[in-house]
């Protein structure tokens, strides 16, 4: 008999792992009694399997441990009524089978836990990303609020400056509910506009300020979105100011029927 070929055939591994059929098991028991090399090979594989199982053992959750012991107790109870004594090549074979089964259960349990914790990680990571986005949005809102607050503060400082000429522009006939105010710096001649009460414009329209100089309208700038006072153009001289509603980007001359407010510069 070619003992080496028999040992390398895989029959020993199948037997130790409990996967050999009755004929293979009986033949292995018979040959291991006749040939010490076969018996030694069986013992060596059992030892290597036990070593590998212990080296790769993972501490299972409590419910896995309980299921293993429950399964073993049921198997022991069944064997008490049906088991027959067989001459085994090693006393630890059955225990190695149990270790192999436990290793498989632990592997499954470990895989389940890996999926569970991976999903938990993704859940926590998504929550962190959401919180970070909320934090960034809040910081952006705070910065906008700070900018608006600073603009309003600066506007109040300018409006209370004694060097400013205040020109009140009430609504013209038919538009009496409107109001705007020009603050004209005596020293620099810069013009600032406060839109107290003007209707909301459409996308294609824009308010334009005019300075009336010697009876002629001079473009004093366009009203854009701003907080508080809007700084427009520098006007060296003017007797009056008015606002018209023009097409987006302004006009070279005022549309008189679209005038909303107007006011004369006080000579006092």
Assigned token pair, 125 = 């990571």
Cα–Cα dist 79/144, whole Å: 79
* pLDDT tier for residue 123 given thresholds of 50, 70 and 90: confident
Query: Which two structure tokens, joined as six digits, stand for 31?
Result: 């040959």
Tell me, yes or no, if the pTM score tops 0.75: no
Write down the pLDDT at residue 24: 83
pLDDT at 88: 46
Q: Length of the chain in residues, anyone?
A: 268
Q: How far apart are CA 181 and CA 184, in angstroms?
A: 10
More confident residue, 259 or 147: 259
Q: Does residue 205 surpass a pLDDT of 90?
A: yes
Q: Residue 170: which pLDDT band, with cuts at 50, 70 and 90?
A: very high
Q: What is the mean pLDDT of residues 154-160?
A: 67
pLDDT band for 85, please (50, 70, 90 cuts): very low
CB 231 within 8 A of CB 217: no
Cα within 13 Å of Cα(119), Cβ side: 5
3-class DSSP state of 1: coil
Q: Which single residue is written with the structure tokens 């100089």?
A: 213
Q: Note the pLDDT of residue 130.
A: 80
pLDDT of residue 86: 46
Tell me which of 44 and 209 has the higher pLDDT.
209
Residue by residue, DSSP assigns 104-136 as HHHHHHHHHHHHHHHHHHHHHHHHHHHHHHHHH
**Paired tokens of 85:** 């004594």
Pairing state between β 240-247 and 259-264: antiparallel
Domains and CATH numbers, the chain: 3-116 (no CATH), 164-264 (2.60.40)
């Amino acid at each position: 008999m070619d003992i080496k070929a028999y040992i390398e055939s895989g029959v020993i591994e199948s037997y130790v792992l409990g996967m050999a059929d009755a004929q293979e098991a009986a033949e292995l028991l018979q040959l291991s009694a006749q040939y010490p090399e076969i018996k030694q090979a069986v013992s060596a594989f059992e030892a290597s399997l036990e070593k590998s199982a212990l080296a790769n053992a993972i501490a299972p959750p409590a419910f896995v441990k309980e299921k293993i012991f429950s399964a073993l107790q049921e198997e022991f109870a069944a064997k008490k009524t049906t088991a027959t004594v067989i001459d085994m090549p090693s006393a630890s074979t059955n225990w190695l089978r149990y270790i192999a089964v436990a290793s498989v259960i632990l592997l499954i349990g470990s895989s389940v836990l890996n999926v569970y914790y991976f999903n938990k990680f993704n859940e926590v990571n998504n929550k962190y990303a959401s919180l970070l986005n909320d934090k960034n949005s809040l910081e952006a809102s705070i910065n906008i609020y700070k900018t608006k607050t600073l603009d309003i503060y600066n506007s109040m400082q300018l409006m209370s400056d004694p060097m400013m000429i205040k020109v009140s522009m009430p609504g013209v006939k038919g538009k009496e509910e409107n109001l705007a105010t020009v603050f004209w710096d005596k020293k620099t001649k810069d013009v600032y506009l406060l839109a107290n009460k003007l209707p909301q414009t459409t996308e294609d329209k824009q308010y334009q300020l005019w300075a009336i100089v010697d009876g002629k309208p001079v473009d004093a700038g366009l009203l854009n979105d701003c907080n508080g006072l809007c700084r427009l153009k520098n006007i060296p001289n003017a007797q009056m100011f008015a606002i018209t509603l023009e097409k987006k980007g302004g006009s070279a001359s005022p549309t008189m029927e679209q005038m909303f407010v107007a006011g004369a510069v006080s000579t006092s």
